[in-house]
């Protein structure tokens, strides 16, 4: 089930909210678990067993860690807990990639390997709920959060349907106190509705409208410079409004239930460096990678050379987390290399700068990001390099006949509107206030005026009408 679907909007959500608010507060975790299980099982019932197994194993491991943390071999509980979760993720997400890469390697060196092997189905959202489980185990080990004795609360945290299948990547310590006591009010529920409708409109009216521009461009065999850059620009806008829209919808749904999530995006396309970009893009993942990978690798504590290596490895593994393909590995390496170079050169995005310098660094950063998005979008390396070939004009400059006939006015209008909104959002969001969830975790509280509320409501109605005319509206990050 997806948020942008009639069954969710008109059946699941209203029925859930009615039952949720009629249920006594102490039983609401059980209602969340049941509803979230139905939400997940709408795709495949059988993978619920895997989800429950990860929940039970991680919950029990954390309790054992807390009980035996003073034992000389206690660290093995941490290692077993983290390793078991990683092996589960590795099998389901990377088995097909590993076997196919091995077969390709053997074929290239002249060894004939039968191509038949057991194809493993990727459970939707496994990258997210495995990371949730790992962070919980590690946080208990670090004493950043006490283990919960309430299995329903922990299970509800992992399965909480707003973030279950596409994030944000949350930590139990940010929501633990909210499971014990959380506020419910008309103002909070209204803010949740506003955030959900705004995210829904961004996803359906902008991301889905510009998607055909990107799809058509990446389907070309030999795109020209104009083809490639328009297609890349379309995908840049599509990906942002698709995923940022999903995150905003998740935040809105959580607010309707009394939970406040951390923000996942903070206007990333106005960044003045790749370092700043990763402080603004997919914030929950970048902070997770920092706290559970970069810092354990040594962070910046072991000298400059080791810092550059740690930055590169963190982003390399972050790229692989996004998908089991060499395109994602190279995408991670691209960002990792730039991060290391920026650290080497002492780039400071917060340094004072004039308008011209700010515009220059912002434009350069956006170009670097767009070049990386080609790898992120391309189905294989051959397509990606063909696209780069076109971007530098080696296959012509003007639009090709194969592409231009597919361009529609409404798509260009949505693209222009999306670009304008990217640079207008910092001004539109200026009235947001910070809400501290826990050390290092910040949420935002929106304060829309009457005009803003009316505009979002109108756009939501238009978006729902458009959704009903569409056959399917998937979210891009579901594949990860």
Q: Could you give the residue numbers annotated as active site?
A: 322
The CA distance from 443 to 465, in Å, is 31
What torsion, rounded to 10 degrees, do the Cα atoms 251, 253, 254, 256 define? 130
DSSP 264-323: S-S-GGG-SSHHHHHHHSSHHHHHHHIIIIITTTTTTTT-HHHHHHHHHHHHHHHHHHH-
Helix (H, G, I), strand (E, B) or coil at 85: helix
Crossing angle for the helix pair 355-377 and 326-345, nearest 10 degrees? 160
Residue position matching structure tokens 């923000």: 263
What is the separation of C-alpha 475 from the centre of its chain, rounded to a whole number of angstroms? 10
Asked if 203 contacts 475 with a C-beta cutoff of 8 angstroms, the reply is: yes
Q: How many CA atoms lie within 13 A of 421 on its CB side?
A: 20
The CA distance from 241 to 235, in Å, is 10
Write out the H or E segment, with its range, that includes residue 251: helix 225-256
Number of neighbouring beta carbons within 10 Å of residue 328: 20
| Two tokens, residue 353 | 């700068």
């Amino acid at each position: 089930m997806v948020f942008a679907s009639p069954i969710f909007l008109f059946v699941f959500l209203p029925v859930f909210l009615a039952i949720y608010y009629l249920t006594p507060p102490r039983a609401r975790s059980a209602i969340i678990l049941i509803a979230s299980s139905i939400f997940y099982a709408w795709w495949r019932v059988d993978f619920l067993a895997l989800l429950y197994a990860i929940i039970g194993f991680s919950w029990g491991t954390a309790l054992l860690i807390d009980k035996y943390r003073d034992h000389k071999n206690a660290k093995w509980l941490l290692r077993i807990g983290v390793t078991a979760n990683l092996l589960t993720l590795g099998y389901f997400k990377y088995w097909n990639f590993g076997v196919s890469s091995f077969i390709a390697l053997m074929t290239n060196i002249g060894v004939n390997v039968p191509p038949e092997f057991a194809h493993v189905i990727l459970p939707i959202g496994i990258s997210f709920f495995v990371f949730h489980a790992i962070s919980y185990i590690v946080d208990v080990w670090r004493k950043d959060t006490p283990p919960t004795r309430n299995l329903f609360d922990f299970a509800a945290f992992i399965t909480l349907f707003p973030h279950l299948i596409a994030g944000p990547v949350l930590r139990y310590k940010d929501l633990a106190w909210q499971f014990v006591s959380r506020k419910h009010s008309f103002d909070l529920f209204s803010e949740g509705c506003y955030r959900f409708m705004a995210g829904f409109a961004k996803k359906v009216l902008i991301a889905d409208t510009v998607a055909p521009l990107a799809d058509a461009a990446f389907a070309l065999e030999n795109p020209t410079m104009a083809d490639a850059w328009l297609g890349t620009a379309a995908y840049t806008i599509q990906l942002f409004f698709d995923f940022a829209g999903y995150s905003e919808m998740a935040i809105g749904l959580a607010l309707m239930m009394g939970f406040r999530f951390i923000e996942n995006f903070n206007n990333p396309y106005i960044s003045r460096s790749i370092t700043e970009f990763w402080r603004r893009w997919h914030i929950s993942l970048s902070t997770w990678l920092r706290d559970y990978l970069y810092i354990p690798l040594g962070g910046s504590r072991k000298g400059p050379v080791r810092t550059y290596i740690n930055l590169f490895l963190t982003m390399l593994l972050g790229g692989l987390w996004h998908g089991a393909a060499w395109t994602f590995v190279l995408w991670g390496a691209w960002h990792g290399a730039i991060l290391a170079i920026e650290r080497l050169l002492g780039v400071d995005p917060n340094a004072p700068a004039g308008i011209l310098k700010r515009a220059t660094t912002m434009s350069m950063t956006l170009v670097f990001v767009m070049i990386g998005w080609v790898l992120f979008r391309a189905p294989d390396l051959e397509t990606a390099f063909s696209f780069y070939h076109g971007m530098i004009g080696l296959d012509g400059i003007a639009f090709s006949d194969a592409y231009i006939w597919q361009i529609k006015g409404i798509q260009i209008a949505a693209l222009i509107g999306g670009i304008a909104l990217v640079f207008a959002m910092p001004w539109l969001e200026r009235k947001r206030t910070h809400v501290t969830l826990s050390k290092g975790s910040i949420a935002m509280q929106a304060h829309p005026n009457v005009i803003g509320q009316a505009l979002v409501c109108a756009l939501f109605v238009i978006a729902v009408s458009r959704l009903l005319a569409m056959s399917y509206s998937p979210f891009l990050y579901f594949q990860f």
